Chain A
Amino acid sequence: MIYIMGIVSILLLSLVLGPMIIPDFVWPHIARDFLLHNGLSDTGASNLVSAIYLGYRAYDTIGETIVLLAAVTGAVYLITGSPASVHGSEKLPQKPKRRTNIISMTTGKLAPVVMLFGWYVMFFGHLSPGGGFQGGVVLASGLLFIALGRENHQRESKLDRSGLHIIEVSSLFLILLLLSIPLVFGASILENPFGKNGSTIPRVIYIVGFNMAIGLKVGSGLTLLGLLMMDMKHDD
């Protein structure tokens, strides 16, 4: 078994180090030049990665959020609805508590900073590196830090699970609303409706709205997944 692992790691090593040895050739640059010249004026986002995945390729992003929704739904169904969680809550042998103050102090001090950085990444995704997904993940990390530093009863009072459900579903509806806004303005679906014909609304606002909705959705969904796993009753 260990020989198979060794062979696999040598193959992976050659796969990783291969592109370093191969001399670089001329990459195609049609799409790069197109994005460099038209990306800012088409979508209003100076971060070209945001311009791609919320402007040109927004359909893929919608599919990604729906995949995350399906994952969260499946996890909620499996964890809360399985018969093991009903029987598992009878009599668990209590483990001796070996909890120090270090974890709760560190997480309590670190979590606001992490969450502030998450909000920054989420809201400035059109200017600086980052975006909705990354900001949402950082936000979920901050919330899970808070959950990690608390005992069970305190965790339930601090982080409300139904509130997270509501945030996730309402941000899905916000995404659907953003999808259908261009139809009102006579544009096709997912086409940026603002900033045309001398309109005063800046064109970026569509990207910012998408970033906010996706960030809230990803953050609440991942926090919900983490909380469900932490509260899961386990039978040894």
Chain B
Amino acid sequence: MITFLLMFVLIGSAYALFSRDLLYSTIALSMTSVVSALIFYLLHAPDVAITEAAVGAGLSTVIFIWIIKHTRRSDP
């Protein structure tokens, strides 16, 4: 189960690296954060899971999307 979720994290982060569209990258990164929060919860670390979900999926996604809105969306 955890190995499967880790593969999911890896695929998501690789897509975030290689994607030319920064909005898709941000959404993939946010999904990666949610899945890793789930992994932390399965590994009996709910504190780290709350931090990961709040910082990774909440705050940094809001800031990234705001920045993409004010700059170019595609990665040259």
Residues in A whose Cβ lies below 8 Å from that of B18: 2, 5
B12 to A: closest C-beta gap in Å: 12
CB distance from A118 to the nearest CB of B (A): 8
Q: What is the interface size of chain B, counting residues whose CB is below 8 A from a CB of the partner?
A: 23
Chain A contacts with B in 116-146, Cβ cutoff 8 A: 121, 129-131, 133-134, 137-138, 140-141, 144-145
Give chain A's interface secondary structure class. helix
* Residues of chain A with a CB closer than 8 A to B14's CB: 9
- Range for the number of chain A residues in contact with chain B: 20 to 34
> Taking A5-B17, A229-B67 as contacts, is the C-beta distance between A144 and B50 under 8 angstroms?
no
Q: Does B55 belong to the interface (CB within 8 Å)?
A: yes
Docked-complex contact B58 and A129, CB < 8 angstroms:
no
Quick one: given A5-B17, A226-B63, A229-B66, are A138 and B47 in contact (CB under 8 Å)? no
Min Cβ gap A14→B in Å is 11
* Residues in chain A within 8 A of chain B (CB atoms): 2, 5, 9, 12-13, 16-17, 20, 47, 49, 121, 129-131, 133-134, 137-138, 140-141, 144-145, 148, 222, 226, 229-230, 234
